[in-house]
Amino acid sequence: MIIADSSRPELRKLLASNGLGISIGPFRCCIKTKLASVCDHLYELYPDTEIDIDSQFTDFPVEVERAPGLRRWLKPLAEFTFNGNVPFTPLALDQAPALLEWGINWCVSAHAHHLLVIHSSVVEKNGRAIIMPAPSGSGKSTLCAGLVARGWRLLSDELTLIRVSDGQILPIPKPISLKNESIEIISEFWPEAIVGKVCKDTLKGRVAHFRPPAESVRNANIPAVPAFVIFPRYAPSVECNLIPKEKGHAFMLMVENAFNYHLLGVEGFDVLKSVIDKVEVFDFEYSSLDRAIDEFEHLVK
C-alpha cells in the first residue's frame, strides 16, 4: 500500500493518531502531526511511498506540531521532535513542511552510523552513479534536479549513503529541495514536476520541494555502484569545464563533506578509499543546465 492509495482525510487521521509509518530508502519513519500543511506535503510529494502499517520497528519516530506556550497563539511556531526530544529551534508555522524534510535529513546524518553519510547529491544512469559533493550555493541540487528531469534515477539530492560492507550506494529518494531562483529555473526546465508549497523567509531564503519520480521511489531498494565523483560549481557565463581532479585532494574533500567519517574510524577510511580508488574524479564548472546534462550523458554512455 502506498500513500496515493489513501484519501487525504484518511492520511490526516493516521498522522494525528498513531502516526504514519513509511519507508524512506533503507529507513522506516513514523511521522505524527496534526498540521494540515504537513499532511498536504506528504500527500502531494510522497504519493508513491510505501505505508508500513504492521511493522513494530521504527528507525525514526518524529513529530511536527505547534510549539507549546503562549507564543503558539501570538506567533505560532512549528516544532520538530525526534524520539521525544527537540533537536532544533522551532520555526515559523508556515515552514513546517520544510522542517519535516530537514528533520528527517538530520535523523539520518546524526544516527545512521552503519553507513558512511556524505553531504552530496547522487544520481544514476546506465548502472553508473555520480556523487556530487559541494557546499550550499554551488548549484549541485539544481544540477541534480535537471538530471532527474531528463530521466536520471534520483538516489538523493542531499545525502549519499555508502554501505560500509561493499561501497555501494543505498538510495534515499526524498523530495528535491531547491532554494530561491533555482525554484523558478527548475519549474521552467521541468514543467511537469509537482512542486510543494514554497516556504518563505527561512534561513535559506525561499525553499520548495519537488516530488521525486515514481520510478526512483519504487527502485529505492536497489543499490547503485559509484562510477564518478564530481565537484560541481555553477558560474555564470562559463563554458562547461570537466577537469580531472587529483584523487588525494578529492578524498580529503569527501571527508570534509562526511557527517560521520570520524565516528566510523578505520571502516570509514577503508570504504571511502575504496570508492575513490574505483571512480573517476572531476571538478565541473557550468552555466548552462542543458550543456551540463549533455556532458553527464556522455560520461555514462
For 136-170, letters b (16+ CB in 10 Å) and e give: eebbbbbbbbbbbbbebbbbbbbbbbbebeebbbb
Q: How confident is the model over 272-289, as pLDDT tens digits?
A: 999 999 999 999 999 999
Predicted confidence at residue 202, as pLDDT, reads 87
Percent of the chain with pLDDT over 70: 98
Q: How confident is the model over 144-160, as pLDDT tens digits?
A: 999 999 999 999 999 99
Confidence of residue 82 (pLDDT cuts 50, 70, 90): very high
Rounded Cα gap, residues 63 and 156, in angstroms: 23
Indicate whether 70 pLDDT > 80.
no
Predicted confidence at residue 104, as pLDDT, reads 97
Half-sphere exposure of 253 (CA within 13 A, CB side): 20
| pTM, rounded to two decimals | 0.94
Q: What is the mean pLDDT of residues 68-90?
A: 86
Fold of 115-299: Rossmann fold (3.40.50)
Rounded Cα gap, residues 130 and 194, in angstroms: 24
Instruction: List the beta bridge partners of residue 26.
Output: none
Average predicted confidence (pLDDT) for the chain = 94
Instruction: List the beta bridge partners of residue 203.
Output: none
Confidence of residue 52 (pLDDT cuts 50, 70, 90): confident
Question: What is the 3-class SS of 237-251, one letter each residue?
Answer: CCCCEEEECCHHHHH
- CATH 3.40.50 positions along the chain are 115-299
Indicate whether 72 pLDDT > 70.
no
Predicted confidence at residue 53, as pLDDT, reads 74
Q: What is the mean pLDDT of residues 113-117?
A: 97
Of 155, 295, 132, 149, give the one whose Cα is nearest residue 221.
155
Indicate whether 73 pLDDT > 80.
no
Predicted confidence at residue 55, as pLDDT, reads 66
